Structure 1
């Protein structure tokens, strides 16, 4: 597929519109880059958590491995799982010290059929009004109970428009009487990648509210609530206060012994971290985070109102659209690639810094997905620009191949040079006109075919000299040649190059004339060359079917007039302006002032000659 050079801007904006549509589709619907946001977020959350200390009033009584292996516990309770009377005795001891709440993170089903008195003892202990026990939601269970029949203590309640026949699979604490079912579910809340980054106050099912155990505690203690039922956890890098279960229980059963901590005003979570009990979940902090730690983190976040607030989705959309727009503008207006990439990198670094700072303000903003969309835009715009610039370069090189030396054509590689070459503008140039003397009489006695062949041989020789000196061939006017220097590429030594070319054309003419005289004795072949430097408008002139790269203006006219003054004076004449611009590169013979057509004042002309002291191989300016 090919594009016209003038289509650069529209094509960039069409690509920008396509990228905007892709960005909106990704950020609002597809979310295929969300995993990248999660990965970056996990890294920043681990960094952020390092300095965070959990509150001292959230305490974990830990069924850890040493508690399971403690000899006294083994003597009193046997091997795991312990009789529920053990938990009852500990809970009674804790409740007597007026804690804010007791959360039992242990499954209490099915009933103990062999020792029902143990379940009765636990039920009695759980009559403490702020004691909470877990339930499990069984989303795919075929055994579902009507929610309308749930005991009031469970906290399951109808909302407006609740469906009376709503059912759900629930594994409740069936070992206990319904009046102590102050329950909440403890299901692991995970994202699509299986990592737990959030928790819930509860959820709605067919118009019924099903509370999470964290939500039950929050309601009972009147803790601050997020606006949404699901909220993002703000993790702690240091451990909660942990009391080994064996230590706490044995102290509670030893007369005169004090508990290893003061339960007053504390939220106490009784749960297991022992490796053999397999209560571990993957979180941003650790792939094996104990389940009770997640509960403790959620309650502590609510207590201090420092859960993480998700930044509005509009911030991701705004960043992605701003990057696409800025990159599209940069490439469409040909801002340098270094500045464009540097600006993009700066935005990336600022966005990542902003994400880290936002965490300090309890705001979770992970901008990697919009940054990746920006990177995609950078790549897409870059590839489009490379394609367009390469095509434009080939287009310009094809146009200039007829006028300049192939080496100069290859030098038209910089986009700025390509644009400058294509646009007509006033340039400082040196113009050369060359004309054959006596061409009319020369052609009178030869057939047209011979004349054309002669001219072609002559033009071939002279154009080779012009190209060798980096000149631009403008046109052939009958037997005349027009060329100029200083465009399409700027040439600081355009006057020197033009005079070198003029002297080289004069030398080549002598060789050509000598060869012609050998073939046709008596034939005389001479030329005149005029050179002038000054401003001229240079560019493509003509129609869409035929364009010529040419120079127009007074400088061109005067160069033609100077060529007309050479007859009987010198082969090459240059203007005073050209002489001044050549400096001391040549010797000049002052040929006096000449009256030229179209000018009131006479023009002083000079004949250039190579400096006698210079070796021939140093006469030409370096390309």
Structure 2
């Protein structure tokens, strides 16, 4: 077998398909999760997981105190507030016995001095609270910051904090925040490092202040601050719900709280964490979050920064962390998905039949991701898996198309030597119903030989002989193809034609007889051409047609093969052709009976004029046979 044939055979093998699809899977594994589109897809899928899970009960220890438009209107005061307003606010919080007060803003930016009220009075009001956490932030010019890292690389920085004015009244934590590249706030951190110095975040300080003040019988429920810094410094916020999901009280309601309501409100807010922060839109302290565009909110709603902090703190207090599936587990799932896809799309050769499996496998991946998130709080990113399934399916079909097209080109080249291009196209369109490897079929076999050509060729030069034969065969082969015959071979000045293979015919015997009659008439016309008349030769052919079952297929050695028919039917056609005179067509009994059964109206006159010749001896046959002779004038 030649190298090219070996290569083509390998390309059509399942081993080649598996190798290609495995290579595609490896490329998908290496690159699919690293492309921007893939990361964006997985981020959006994570948001959808929250939507499918739905809201969860918010931690009851968290209360949001909102600096909103209503507070400005009721208090008849705009930011920055006066010391009197803050003093009254903090004193009322003390009356409610809140455990931790977190100020999600830089206090001195929201505070204006008043000559009638000293800062000492404000400090005393703060001191009287159990625990106060101030916000601070690093204002800087970022040189580079990778999303999801705790290292802030800066050119210059300025640490802004309220604590330098009220250092003895509480602690401070960073409110610096990062978002994902698609503009959604999904994660949080407990500690940043800037220029080698560590800064704990506002969220961590809230958690630390709350947990450190608990009694031992209550504190055991929460992770220690050292452990949470070590294991959960960076974490995905497990949002309890969308905007306005947490227990909320307006800033003005605390400031204007009447003494008569203290007892009732104390029962509601005692030992709680109260996070004070702006919720008015002009503050620009809003974030897009996973719940921003779900059925649980009207339209698209951003979430105030103070609510994001509440959700992050909720995650810490509930120990309700969301984990990314470990790489080893992801690799195992990827390997299973890739292997199933490769196996399926190697076996299934139809793109149409393979499509449902793509949908099924993708649905399984999505279901697994949903189940892992809702039941186990584990995120399985799906883009790489879904992309790989589609890529393997597409690659499998691309390989099949290339291989099939290559096979079709090879077959078409081969068959075009035997039949017309239109018949070749019909054969190829039948796809798997065409068998060139060998099969037993009922066919009509025709032999047509030029009478007296041997004596003519003795008078002609080699060039003239070849030219004359080519002229004859060109005319005859055109007629053969016109009648859907398959040119089997040339044998000297004789040609062999098969009707009914490889393309099955409804009436092979009728096609053979029509072809033979047309060839007889064509030889008469050919003899009248000028260059044939110059040879002083009249073309005449004798034709033999037999019908029956024979073996057809590609026969020969690896070095040379040809599509041909073999069997007694072929031998019979050859023998009876020898009995046919110039202008005669000889049929064996089976061919005549088949013609009668096919009942072609255009051949009735020819069959009616057929002469039966009984008991003819044929070379190679012991029994005598009946034949029928048709004379074409």
Using the size of structure 2 for normalisation, the TM-score is 0.75
| Distance in 2 of aligned mates of 1:433 and 1:585 | 23
1:292 pairs with 2:306: yes
- Show CA shifts across 1:532-567 (max 9, x none): 3324141264554x5533334454334434434556
What's the secondary structure of 1:372's corresponding residue?
A: helix
Q: Which moved more, 1:274-283 or 1:291-300?
A: 274-283
- Aligned equivalents of 2:506 and 2:334: distance in 1? 46
1:197 equivalent in structure 2: 186
For 1:319 and 1:489, the matched residues in 2 are separated by 48
Unaligned runs of 5+ in 2: 144-155, 212-218, 293-300
| Equivalent position of 2:352 in the other structure | 338
Aligned match of 2:105: 106
Question: How much has 1:465 moved relative to structure 2?
Answer: 1.5
SS of alignment partner, residue 33 of structure 1? helix
3-state DSSP of counterpart to 1:90: helix
CA deviations on 1:206-248 (whole Å, 9 max, x unpaired) are 9987543333444544565685432223331362222111012
Paired residues of 2:540 and 2:583 also in contact (CA < 8 A): no
Q: Look up the match of 2:70.
A: 66
- The correspondence of residues 76-87 of structure 1 with structure 2, limited to 5 A, is 78-83=77-82, 86-87=85-86
1:393-542 aligned at under 5 Å gives the runs 393-411=408-426, 413-414=428-429, 416=431, 420=434, 423-428=436-441, 430=443, 431-444=445-458, 448-512=462-526, 525-539=540-554, 541-542=556-557
Structure 1, residues 45-99: CA drift from partner, whole Å, max 9, x if none? Answer: 34644x54535553211111110121xx24xxx5322245644543443344444
For 2:261 and 2:472, locate their aligned partners in 1 and report how far apart those are by CA, in whole Å: 125
**Which of 28, 31, 37 is residue 26 of structure 1 equivalent to?**
31
1:121 aligns with 2:135: no
Shift of 1:476: 0.5
**How many residues are paired up?**
574
| Higher alpha-carbon deviation: 318-327 or 25-34 | 318-327
Q: Does the aligned pair in 2 maintain the 1:197–1:232 contact within 8 Å?
A: yes
**Residues 510 and 184 of structure 1, relative CA distance in 2, 3 Å threshold:** same
**TM-superposition CA deviations, 1:94-134 (whole Å, max 9, x none):** 344444543332324589887321442244134x15x4333
The aligned runs of 1:603-618 (5 Å cut-off) are 603=625, 605=627
Q: What does 1:138-537 correspond to in 2, within 5 Å?
A: 170-175=159-164, 178=167, 180-202=169-191, 210-219=199-208, 220-221=210-211, 222=219, 228-235=232-239, 236-237=241-242, 239=244, 240-251=246-257, 258-259=264-265, 262-286=268-292, 288-313=302-327, 335-361=349-375, 362-411=377-426, 413-414=428-429, 416=431, 420=434, 423-428=436-441, 430=443, 431-444=445-458, 448-512=462-526, 525-537=540-552
Cα distance in structure 2, aligned partners of 1:187 and 1:34: 24
- 8 Å Cα contact 1:201-1:229 kept in structure 2: yes
**Unaligned segments of structure 1, at least 5 residues:** 143-166, 611-623
The Cα of 1:425 is off from its aligned counterpart by 2.4
Whether the aligned pair in 1 keeps the contact of 2:441 and 2:550 (CA below 8 Å) is: yes
Distance in 2 between residues matched to 1:213 and 1:576, nearest whole Å? 100
TM-score (norm 1): 0.76
